[in-house]
A and B are shown apart, each in its own frame.
Chain A
Amino acid sequence: MAFEAAQRTGRVWLPAAGFGLFGLLVLGRLVQLQVLEHPQFAAKAASEMVASDTLYARRGAILDRNGHPLALTVDTWDVYVSARAWRDETVAVDASETLAAAIGGDAFAIRQQVRDHESGDILVARDVPFDVGRELEKQGVPGVSLLPNIDRAHPEGDLAASIIGFIGADNNGLAGIEAALDSVLGGTPGRAIFERDSAGRPIPLGRYVARQPVPGADVVLTVDRTLQELAERELRKAIEEHKASGGTLIIMDPNTGEILALASEPSFRYSTLDLSRDDQLQLLRNRAITDLYEPGSVMKVITAAAALDAGVVTPNTTYVDTGVAVVAGVPIRNWDYNVYGQQTMTGVLQHSINTGAIFMVERLGAERFHQYLDAFGFGRRTGIELQGETPGIFRRPSDPDWSPVDLATQSFGQAISVTPLQMAVAFAAAINGGKLLEPHVVKGYVLPDGTWRPVAPKVIDQAISPQTSNTLREMLGAVVNPGWYHPANPRFYTAGGKSGTANVPVVNGYNDRQIASFVGFAPLENPRILVMVKLDDNADLQTGTQAAGPVFARVVDEALRYLGVPPDKGPEADR
């Protein structure tokens, strides 16, 4: 068998060239994709495969000074319903009834809520209790899914609500300590990165935590829950008794600036809080630090402290009260239109004589008096941790409308606006040896690792000398214990203090409304507490001594007994 020799031809190169060209194109494309554009495609691939999730840090607790919880974080669930899954009426009815039985509410209303939406997951309940949600999860109700959330529990109910504040739907603090120390309480969220499958589900072991969440620190307040309860109870009682529109009661340690209790009325209640109502928003402010008032005769204590410290008077310096002092042609009378005749400076405080305060401030002069007002912290914020504090205001000689009458009226607490806390802090400086302290409601922090970080008392200024302070304390003791009945005199403890009754300023004068207050301390020799009672707009028009004085006396007796301070007067002191 013979084969014909193949003829040499060039046609074979045509497909070879075609394949070669195709190969080159493929190669070029591969280089483009895998080398030149590698970073973009690698990132895109990673974004398809990898997802991340925020790991929420646990919010720290708020405790009272003895470790009793005032606000705690509890786990809750937000309940969502898939609108698509509930398109079937039978499924929707069964599921909604199961859901309503578990979380409360009306099954029909839940169905209506879901029907309003075409698709997506509809939030039907927020912050469902942890055990209820877990039971629901076990039941596997069709179309219902639960997402974990947190809420704040308040074991003491509405106690200290104006200090603690609250958190919002996004779990950030909105008021009180919750807002002021939000970053401390909230901690730092973590981040988890995980590989996911085509359905977006995490692949087992494809997850790692890029950043661990750091839980928030626990905040320990200086507030004592028992004293806070006492303050709130006594304040409510006084407001009711004297038909006042509101008030403030502060108990503080005059030696450290620690606020042991701070009650403010009206205030919000956790149980009735509704932020959609305007009248509720008015209740959010803590009136002890946000609202200004004219302190009235309590200010005579500061005037006396300044005059004694400057050496222009002594407790026994005398002057003759004629019932009126004429300043720049303007007659200024005593609050009760009385004439007291010859009086000592102690007598001025005992009888709360306006002309006596004017006598002292005229000896001091405006410049020195205002230097003392600065030293006592008036006209600037005290520095307490709570938000929304106002600095207060008083007129100075450099102001355009200044008049010598302003100086005279400032000496007895008119023409000067202060916050209740500012007045309490200044009063504390007057009787604690002269130290102006920064008030604080935070005693310390418990860090996530258990470390205790205390907040140390902070001295801002030496307002007056310790000797002046001692002298003033004795004078204030004579006010509360003048030798006759005084409503602010506690039964079991020696005390000192001063009342104030001031009209409420309006444009071009004052109206008939008044603010009655009493600020005092006990025991007299070694003060453990300072109590500030203020009643706003008391309709019975009783004075500070009559309306706020008895509240002071009751609070002192009960608070010092609770603090374990032995009585220093009365039958118990003689045992």
Chain B
Amino acid sequence: MATLGRPIARGGTAEAQRHGVRFPAINWWLVAAIAVFAVGAALPVLQSSATTSRGFDIRAVEQRQAELRGEIAALEAQIATQSSLERIRQRAEAMGLHPAATPVVVTVDVPGPEPARIPAEYLPAAAPTPERPDSWWRSLLKWLPLPE
């Protein structure tokens, strides 16, 4: 067992205190290298994760789009059926209306209303909603050669 040859003064001198606990010098090059390595290793993981996540998002949106198209088509057919001649006749009969036996013609100098045009798929398309801006890290993905 090694022993000190001389006693250490209580409290010690400032010099002694300064040299008593020695911290290793930080090698900033090493830190930088580790950081680059860590980022380099994490980036493909992030990229892969974001890609997969976006892929699933796209599939989900496509599926939803198909569902909505189906619903729209079904609703159009339903509306068309509701406004069919047979349905109008049934409603008219339920209201106690009958076809006019002798027409009464009244000439007016005001043009009649435009007939309703259906289905509504011919209406002008709604203005597109602006896209939400991407988060900063997602915007990094734009630099990658991913398929659109």
Are the chains A and B members of one assembly? yes
Q: Which chain A residues have a beta carbon within 8 Å of chain B's beta carbons?
A: 58, 61, 66-69, 72-75, 129-131, 134, 148, 153, 155-157, 159, 203-206, 208, 225-226, 229, 446, 450, 492, 561, 564, 566-567, 572, 575
Which A residues touch B56, using CB under 8 A?
A: 204
Distance, CA A564 to CA B106, complexed state (A): 11
Is there an interface contact between A69 and B146, defined as CB atoms closer than 8 Å? no
Is there an interface contact between B103 and A492, defined as CB atoms closer than 8 Å? yes
Is there an interface contact between B122 and A69, defined as CB atoms closer than 8 Å? no
Distance, CA A437 to CA B102, complexed state (A): 35
Smallest CB separation, A493 vs chain B (Å) = 11
Distance, CA A566 to CA B71, complexed state (A): 44
* Pick from B66, B71, B112, B117: contact of A564, CB under 8 Å: B112
Distance, CA A159 to CA B77, complexed state (A): 15
Which A residues touch B116, using CB under 8 A?
A: 67
* Contact sample, A vs B, 24 pairs, CB 8 Å cutoff: A66-B115, A67-B115, A67-B116, A67-B119, A68-B80, A69-B76, A69-B77, A72-B80, A72-B119, A74-B73, A134-B70, A153-B81, A155-B81, A155-B84, A156-B86, A204-B54, A205-B51, A205-B146, A206-B55, A206-B147, A566-B105, A572-B103, A572-B104, A575-B105
* Pick from B54, B70, B80, B81: contact of A205, CB under 8 Å: B54
Query: Which residue of the partner chain B has the closest CB to A566?
Result: B105
Is there an interface contact between A130 and B103, defined as CB atoms closer than 8 Å? no
Is there an interface contact between A450 and B122, defined as CB atoms closer than 8 Å? yes
Say yes or no: A225-B85 contact (C-beta < 8 A), given A155-B77, A450-B122: yes
The size of the chain B interface, using a CB distance under 8 A, is 37
The 4 closest A-B pairs by CB, nearest first: A204-B55, A155-B80, A75-B70, A153-B77
Task: List 12 extra interface pairs beyond A229-B85, A561-B103, CB under 8 A.
Answer: A66-B115, A148-B70, A153-B80, A155-B77, A157-B84, A159-B85, A204-B51, A204-B52, A206-B147, A208-B148, A226-B85, A575-B105
* Pick from B69, B85, B112: contact of A75, CB under 8 Å: B69
Which A residues touch B84, using CB under 8 A?
A: 155-157
Distance, CA A561 to CA B102, complexed state (A): 11
Is there an interface contact between B86 and A157, defined as CB atoms closer than 8 Å? yes
Which A residues touch B81, using CB under 8 A?
A: 153, 155
Is there an interface contact between A61 and B119, defined as CB atoms closer than 8 Å? yes
Query: Which residue of the partner chain B has the closest CB to A66?
Result: B115
Distance, CA A67 to CA B116, complexed state (A): 8
Which B residues touch A205, using CB under 8 A?
A: 51-52, 54-55, 58, 146-147
The contact string, 1 if C-beta is below 8 Å from chain A, for chain B 62-104, is 0000110111011011001101111000000000000000111
* Pick from B55, B104, B117: contact of A67, CB under 8 Å: B117
Total contacts A-B at CB 8 Å: 93
Is there an interface contact between A73 and B73, defined as CB atoms closer than 8 Å? yes
Is there an interface contact between A67 and B70, defined as CB atoms closer than 8 Å? no
Query: Which residue of the partner chain A has the closest CB to B125?
Result: A450
Asked if B135 CB lies within 8 Å of chain A CBs, one says no
* Pick from A68, A74, A572: contact of B118, CB under 8 Å: A68
Distance, CA A159 to CA B76, complexed state (A): 18
Which B residues touch A204, using CB under 8 A?
A: 51-52, 54-56, 58-59
Distance, CA A572 to CA B83, complexed state (A): 31
The contact string, 1 if C-beta is below 8 Å from chain A, for chain B 115-148, is 1111100100000000000000000000000111
Which B residues touch A130, using CB under 8 A?
A: 70-71, 73-74
Asked if B13 CB lies within 8 Å of chain A CBs, one says no
Which A residues touch B3, using CB under 8 A?
A: none
Which B residues touch A229, using CB under 8 A?
A: 85
Query: Which residue of the partner chain A has the closest CB to B69?
Result: A75
| Candidate in A67, A134, A226 with the most chain B CB atoms within 10 angstroms | A67
| Candidate in A131, A156, A206, A575 with the most chain B CB atoms within 10 angstroms | A156
Distance, CA A561 to CA B103, complexed state (A): 8
Which A residues touch B83, using CB under 8 A?
A: 68, 155
Distance, CA A564 to CA B51, complexed state (A): 63
Smallest CB separation, B128 vs chain A (Å) = 16
Distance, CA A453 to CA B142, complexed state (A): 42
Distance, CA A179 to CA B40, complexed state (A): 61
Which A residues touch B104, using CB under 8 A?
A: 572
Smallest CB separation, B60 vs chain A (Å) = 11
Distance, CA A204 to CA B81, complexed state (A): 40
Which A residues touch B27, using CB under 8 A?
A: none
Which B residues touch A572, using CB under 8 A?
A: 102-105
